């Protein structure tokens, strides 16, 4: 396969190689989307049709969806996931931009040491942390109350080191004069951050929002460990344990999975442009 560098803009050449590129990309997209399509189509098949190998359901039915929504705790788990993912995302957006801003725009002793310490936490495997977290949460008896249970699920994700890195990169590119001008106008330091700096880094906030939301929507290891009662399960944990509760009912699982994709797809569709702009502009380049 000969892959060449992108052609300069404005140059039109629909040669054989461009056609080949389209061909390969299309085959790739079909392979990529096949499991997706299979999931959606299976969720529309009736129980009798389930093990029929036809791609399209002969007699499409929404029965699986009805059952998932009415006969399982799906809606409860969905709500739990939504709550957990939303709260952690808001917290990460606030604290990570505050820390990123401070590390980029203030001069104080210990600045680089603090940055390096925060970044180094990226190398600590989650597995190493969950055991002490579990021991701590058990000792404090947190999961016995409603706020305690939700707090237990959320607390590890409230601030993210990756986000601090991302936001710092963004704030570094902000001109100092702008902040200085606000300072001369007598604006409070927090006001400068909140009303001057923050609105200027919207693309970064959007991409941080989607990655954080996605990460917490998908979080599995810690919620699996910490949640004791079925009503506090998040969607991934609930669906994973479907097996035991519903028997292996493929139709139900596929319907539940299809529904679980919706919020993330919506967030992605909404922020697509900013996400990519965010990645382009951040230091993910290195």
Residues 49-108 that bind another protein (CB under 8 A): 51, 53, 55, 95, 98-99, 101-102, 106-108
The CB density around residue 237, as the number of other CB atoms within 10 Å, is 23
Shortest Cβ distance from residue 63 to another protein (Å)? Answer: 18
Shortest Cβ distance from residue 23 to another protein (Å)? Answer: 10
Q: In the numeric block, which tokens belong to residue 15?
A: 């040669």
Nearest-CA neighbor of 56 among 66, 44, 47? Answer: 44
Binds another protein (CB under 8 A): choice among 16, 35, 48, 56: 35
Residues 5-34 as x/- pattern, contact with another protein by CB under 8 A: xxxxx-------xx--xx-xx--xx--xxx
Binds another protein (CB under 8 A): choice among 62, 140, 146, 261: 261
Nearest residue (CB) to another protein, 145 versus 272:
272
Nearest residue (CB) to another protein, 62 versus 131:
131
Shortest Cβ distance from residue 250 to another protein (Å)? Answer: 6
Binds another protein (CB under 8 A): choice among 48, 112, 125, 147: 125
Nearest-Å Rg of the Cα atoms of the chain is 24
Q: How far apart are CA 227 and CA 237, in angstroms?
A: 9
Q: How far apart are CA 74 and CA 233, in angstroms?
A: 10
CB 170 within 8 A of CB 285: no
Q: Which stretch binds another protein (CB under 8 A): 65-73, 82-90, 127-135, 146-154?
A: 127-135
Q: Which stretch binds another protein (CB under 8 A): 60-68, 82-90, 141-149, 217-225?
A: 217-225
264 binds another protein (CB under 8 A): yes
Nearest residue (CB) to another protein, 149 versus 162:
162
Binds another protein (CB under 8 A): choice among 67, 72, 80, 257: 257
Residue 106 phi/psi, 5° resolution? -115, 155
Shortest Cβ distance from residue 146 to another protein (Å)? Answer: 21
Q: In the numeric block, which tokens belong to residue 178?
A: 């702008």
The CB density around residue 280, as the number of other CB atoms within 10 Å, is 11
Binds another protein (CB under 8 A): choice among 87, 114, 142, 174: 114
Shortest Cβ distance from residue 90 to another protein (Å)? Answer: 14
The whole-angstrom distance between residue 210's C-alpha and the CA centroid of its chain comes to 5
Q: How far apart are CA 154 and CA 223, in angstroms?
A: 9
Helical residues (DSSP H) of the chain, grouped into ranges: 16-43, 63-71, 74-105, 111-120, 126-140, 146-154, 161-172, 176-184, 189-191, 202-218, 221-226, 235-240, 242-246, 250-281
Q: In the numeric block, which tokens belong to residue 45?
A: 């098949």
DSSP code, position 159: S
140 binds another protein (CB under 8 A): no
Nearest-CA neighbor of 37 among 270, 257, 267? Answer: 257
Nearest residue (CB) to another protein, 202 versus 220:
220
Q: Which stretch binds another protein (CB under 8 A): 70-78, 166-174, 195-203, 248-256?
A: 248-256
Q: How far apart are CA 268 and CA 157, in angstroms?
A: 20
Q: In the numeric block, which tokens belong to residue 162?
A: 């990756």
Shortest Cβ distance from residue 83 to another protein (Å)? Answer: 16
Binds another protein (CB under 8 A): choice among 46, 90, 134, 274: 134
């Amino acid at each position: 396969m000969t892959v060449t560098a992108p052609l300069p803009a404005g140059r039109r050449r629909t040669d054989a190689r461009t056609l080949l590129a389209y061909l390969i990309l299309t085959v790739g997209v079909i392979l990529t989307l096949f499991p997706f399509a299979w999931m959606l189509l299976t969720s529309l098949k009736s129980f009798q049709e389930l093990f029929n190998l036809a791609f399209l359901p002969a007699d499409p039915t929404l029965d699986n969806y009805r059952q998932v929504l009415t006969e399982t705790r799906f809606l409860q788990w969905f709500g739990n996931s939504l709550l957990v993912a939303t709260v952690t995302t808001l917290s990460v957006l606030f604290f990570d931009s505050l820390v990123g801003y401070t590390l980029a725009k203030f001069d104080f002793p210990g600045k680089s040491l603090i940055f390096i310490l925060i970044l180094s936490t990226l190398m600590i495997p989650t597995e190493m942390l969950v055991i002490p977290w579990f021991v701590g949460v058990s000792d404090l008896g947190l999961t016995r109350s409603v706020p305690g249970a939700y707090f237990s699920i959320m607390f590890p994700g409230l601030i993210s080191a990756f986000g601090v890195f991302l936001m710092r990169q963004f704030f570094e590119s902000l001109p100092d004069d702008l902040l200085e001008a606000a300072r001369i106008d007598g604006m409070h330091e927090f006001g400068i951050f909140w009303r001057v700096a923050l609105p200027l880094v919207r693309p970064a906030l959007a991409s941080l929002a989607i990655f954080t939301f996605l990460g917490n929507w998908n979080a599995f290891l810690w919620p699996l460990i910490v949640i004791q009662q079925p009503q506090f399960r998040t969607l991934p944990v609930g669906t994973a344990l479907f097996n035991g509760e519903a028997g292996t009912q493929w139709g139900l699982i596929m319907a539940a999975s299809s529904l679980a994709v919706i919020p993330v797809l919506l967030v992605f569709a909404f922020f697509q442009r900013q996400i990519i702009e965010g990645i382009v502009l951040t230091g993910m380049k290195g």
